[in-house]
Structures are given as structure tokens and as C-alpha cells.
Amino acid sequence: MCLGIPGEILEIDGLTARAEFWNVEKEVRLDIVGDEIEVGDYVLNHAGFAIRKIPDDDVEETIELYESLLAGDEDEALEEIGATDATLEFGDRPTAVDSPEGTKTTTIDGIAQRPEAGSRTVREEPTEKPERDADE
């Protein structure tokens, strides 16, 4: 129930969209994705709902990661998108238009390097503090 799966938005009708996950098409809801979504965007789908728009620059990498992680576990990926009667075909995925070859980055560029500037929050308060949810 837990693995979010990246898919490409093919068609949008209000809060419902059709997305393609490898060669499988499924409906996803856009209610809580929190971003403007357009046809051609990639979203992380979790239990039928898009929970995040994958930034254009990260699309290729994200897809590759999932292919490597899911290889051999296709059934589980299918279960995740509710298409157990289909087959996933890794590797023959259309390349994302917005992420040209060359923007691809690896997770780490060297061990000594911190993962991403700004992603550390060790007692260094960010300039602007996001509002917290009332319940937090």
C-alpha cells in the first residue's frame, strides 16, 4: 500500500486524470496533489491519488530509480496502481519531454558532498519559517 509510483498525465478532466505507468493506463485523482498539473507532467501516485508533481528535472532519474527498485517486483507495482491484470514493461517508457538528456543527476556526486544545499536544517533556522499546520 505504500510505494508511490511515478506516472505521466495523459488527460485531465477536473480532478480526475488518466496517467500512464509504464504501458499501463490508470485513473488518478488530483485532489491533493497541491500543484497545477498539466498533461505531460509526471506525478507520484499513491493509492489512486497523485501526492506530488515530480519536478521536471527529476523525472528521468525518478523513473530509472523505480525501474531498478521494482525490477522483479512488477506485480507489486501493479498492485499499487490497481492493475493486476496488466503487465508492466520497464525500459520502453517514453522519455519525458521536459527533462532533456543531460539534466540527469545522480543521488550523490561523491561521498563527502552534502546531498543538497539547503536540505539541512540543523539548528540553522531558515530565513522564512513556513506556517505550521494547526495540528502540528
Partner 1 sequence: MSEETLQFRNPEQAEQLADRLEALMVEVDGPVNLMHVCGSHEQAIAKFGLRSMLPDGLSLRMGPGCPVCVTNMPEVDEAVAVANQGAIVATYGDMFRVPGTKQSLADARADGADVEIVYSASEAVELAEENPDEEVVFFATGFETTAAPTAAILVDDPPENFWVLSAHKYVPPAMEVVAEMPDTDIDGFLAAGHAATITGYGLFEPFVEEYEIPVVVGGFEPIDVMLGIERLLEYISEDVAGLENAYPRCVTREGNRAALETMWSVFEKTSGEWRGIAEIPGANLALREEYADYDARERFDVEPETGGPDPLTEQCVCGDIMAGKADPDECDLFGEECTPGNPVGACMVSSEGTCKIWHEYGGHPDL
| Of positions 81, 88, 93, 99, contacts partner 1 by CB under 8 A | 81
Residues 6+ apart with CB under 8 A from 83: 21, 24, 26
Q: Is 91 in the site for partner 1 (CB under 8 A)?
A: no
The CA distance from 22 to 87, in Å, is 9
**Residue 133: how many CB atoms within 10 A of its CB?**
6
| Of positions 52, 74, 86, 103, contacts partner 1 by CB under 8 A | 52
| Site residues, partner 1 (CB under 8 A) | 1-4, 15, 27, 29, 31-34, 44, 46-49, 51-52, 54-55, 58, 61-62, 64-65, 68-69, 71-73, 76, 79-82, 106-108, 110-111, 115-116, 119-123, 126, 130, 132-136
